[in-house]
Amino acid sequence: MAATFSFTLVTPTGMVAEGQAEEVSAIGPLGEFGVLPDHINFITSLVPGVLEARLPDGEAMHWVVSGGFAEVKDGVMTVLASSAESPESIDASAAAAQVRDADEKFSNLSFYDPDYAPAQEALMLARARVEAAALKPAPR
Amino acid sequence: MASLKAIRRRIASAKSTQQITRALKLVSAARLRRAQEALANSLPYSEALARVADSLLTSEGISVGPVEGAQKRSMLVVVASDRGLAGGYNSYLFRAAEAARREIRGAGFEIELFAVGKKAVDHFKRSGVPVALSRVDNLPRLATIALARDIAARMLADYSSGAIDEAGIVYTHFQSAVTQKAVYERLLPVKPPGDAGIQDGASVDGAMPKTGAPKIDYLVEPSRAELAPVVLRGYLEAAVYHALLEAEASEQGARMTAMDSATNNAIEMISSLTLEMNRARQAQITRELMDIVGGAEALR
């Protein structure tokens, strides 16, 4: 039995998940990172992407987070997400349409446009939704 | 004494008023419960965020203070309701807003008002105070994340461009359905933890929860300097959202109390009018009897 650590996922509208996990991976500004038990105290911001928590029974849970922070303190991981959606709540075809729209908007913007960063975030969020929607029949 | 018909009409009108106020009371009671739930749900997030913000925003070398050479302007967000019929809710709030304005002006700041809610816009228009920004959503729920995000974004944009060097929010702090307290809370610049002065109002428990724990050493990615603005934005969004939630709960609480006493007044009025109606009817019957008896006497 692998070691576990306690993990909570909270959003401004409430607690989304709370429990033990073997491994949690998420996407930060420097790329994807994973947290295992006994991780050093750590803070990072999150970029829109899929958050995965591997539970002690081998199952994996996924959420689409739209940004926020992750904190590891004394072996306890807290993810502060601006929002968290479960794959079950995502409409795959709507997500695909969002990617098309966001991609079109983003590719027409110059790097110096003030809308560049928001458009990039929207695109990443839409892509994360598509990715999560593909995970839908995930083993529960 | 009023005629029987007039009294009956008044009773009918009091009854329909009572029906309306009772319905409004039930609606706001349900909304109050929802708002209180939302308030409780937001707590774990703000607590965790306060811990992160504490250790990041106040570490040495990270400046989240006002831009150098910023104008002496202060953004004041006033959170009122869109609808009335909430007793003294809005007037208490505007009194607190006036006090905050006097205080800010006394400190030598110009004020940029941000009116949230139809009642706030109307109030400042009536009193001839220029409003820089206003926002009327007119949704069944006041505290939406989108609204909090917009307000926080606006504050930060002006703060980092140097257009303002201070920002605060006037809202009603929810204590219970009967007691609420309008408070002014300064959000920017962020005060170091342990300094209880984040809230200028008398009650401190309404401020963002501040942990007094010793600072924790963190590995920070990408870097403290890059992360600080992100944390600041998150912190501000959460603080504004918290204020909106408090305001929403207070508004519904105030409305519920106001509608409860209006319903009671209507009940009281109906019972006194019913008494008056019975007297009037009795008097009429007596008068008619006297007429009949008088007529019979005359025929004898």
Instruction: Count CB neighbours of B224 within 10 A.
Output: 18
Token readout for B197 is 């002065």
Round the average pLDDT of chain A to a whole number and report it.
Answer: 83
H/E stretch holding A127: helix A116-134
Return the residue of A nearest to B157 by Cα.
A114
Q: Residue B215 has what pLDDT?
A: 56
Q: Please, are residues B92 and B129 in contact by the beta-carbon 8 Å criterion? A: no
H/E stretch holding B180: strand B180-188
Topology at the third CATH level for domain B26-255: Pyruvate Kinase; Chain: A, domain 1 (3.40.1380)
Whether pLDDT at B201 is above 50: no
Return the residue of B nearest to A12 by Cα.
B42
Interval B28-63: pLDDT, tens: 999 999 999 999 988 888 888 887 777 776 654 455
CA–chain centroid gap for A105, Å, is 23
Interval A86-139: pLDDT, tens: 877 777 788 788 888 888 878 877 777 777 777 788 888 888 888 877 776 544
The radius of gyration of chain B from alpha carbons, rounded to an integer in Å, stands at 28
Residues of B in contact with A82 (CB under 8 A): 145, 234, 237
Which one is predicted more confidently, A44 or B52?
A44
Tell me the helix, strand and coil percentages in chain A, rounded to 5: 25, 40, 30
Interval B162-189: pLDDT, tens: 888 888 999 999 988 888 899 998 888 8
Please count the CA atoms within 13 angstroms of the CA of B163 that sit on its side-chain side: 10
d(CA A52, CA A34): 9
Q: Is B230's CB within 8 Å of A41's CB?
A: no
Which one is predicted more confidently, B3 or B190?
B3
Q: Residue A1 has what pLDDT?
A: 54
Question: With a threshold of 0.90, does the pTM exceed it?
Answer: no
d(CA B199, CA B119): 24
Q: Please, are residues B159 and B124 in contact by the beta-carbon 8 Å criterion? A: no
DSSP 3-state of B215: coil
Asked which of B6-20, B25-39, B152-166 is least confident by mean pLDDT, the reply is B152-166
Q: Please, are residues A21 and A53 in contact by the beta-carbon 8 Å criterion? A: yes
Instruction: Count CB neighbours of A114 within 10 A.
Output: 8
Interval B229-259: pLDDT, tens: 888 888 888 889 999 999 999 999 999 999 9
Strand partners for A60: A54
Fold: same for B4-22+260-299 and B26-255: no
Strand partners for A78: A8, A71
Which one is predicted more confidently, A37 or B208?
A37
Average pLDDT, stretch B212-233? 72
Return the residue of A nearest to B50 by Cα.
A80
Q: Is A43's CB within 8 Å of B51's CB?
A: no
What residues of B are in the A interface, CB distance below 8 Å? 38, 41-42, 44-46, 48-49, 51-52, 55-56, 145, 148, 216-222, 226-227, 230-231, 234, 237-238, 241
B117: left (phi over 0), alpha (psi -120 to 50) or beta: left
Q: Residue B272 has what pLDDT?
A: 95
Question: How does strand A84-85 pair with strand B133-135?
Answer: unpaired
Q: Is B241's CB within 8 Å of A12's CB?
A: yes
Residues 6+ apart with CB under 8 A from B107: none
Of A10, A40, A73, the CB nearest to B45: A10
Starting at the earlier edge strand, list the strands of the sheet with A23-28: A31-35, A23-28, A49-54, A60-65, A84-85
d(CA B165, CA B72): 6
**ipTM score above 0.95:** no
Which one is predicted more confidently, B67 or B152?
B152
Which one is predicted more confidently, B1 or B218?
B218
**Backbone phi and psi for residue B75, each to the nearest 5 degrees, phi listed first:** -90, 130
Q: Suggest the residue from A32, A43, A65, A79 to mutate for an interface test with chain B (most B CBs closer than 10 A).
A: A43
**Which superfamily does B4-22+260-299 belong to?**
ATP synthase, gamma subunit, helix hairpin domain (1.10.287.80)
Round the average pLDDT of chain B to a whole number and report it.
Answer: 83
**Short-list B200, B205, B207, CA closest to B242:** B207
Average pLDDT, stretch B76-91? 89
Q: Residue B299 has what pLDDT?
A: 87
Q: Residue B197 has what pLDDT?
A: 38
Average pLDDT, stretch A74-80? 89
Strand partners for A68: A46, A81
Which one is predicted more confidently, B225 or B77?
B77
Q: Please, are residues A106 and A122 in contact by the beta-carbon 8 Å criterion? A: yes
Question: How does strand A5-11 pair with strand A14-21?
Answer: antiparallel
- Residue B209: pLDDT band with limits 50, 70, 90: very low
Starting at the earlier edge strand, list the strands of the sheet with A14-21: A14-21, A5-11, A76-81, A68-73, A42-46, B219-221
Residues of B in contact with A68 (CB under 8 A): 234
- Interchain CB contact of A42 with B (< 8 Å): yes
- Residue B194: pLDDT band with limits 50, 70, 90: very low
Asked which of A63-77, A89-103, B191-205 is least confident by mean pLDDT, the reply is B191-205
Which one is predicted more confidently, B212 or B198?
B212
Residues of A in contact with B55 (CB under 8 A): 43
Which one is predicted more confidently, B98 or A92?
B98
d(CA B153, CA B158): 9
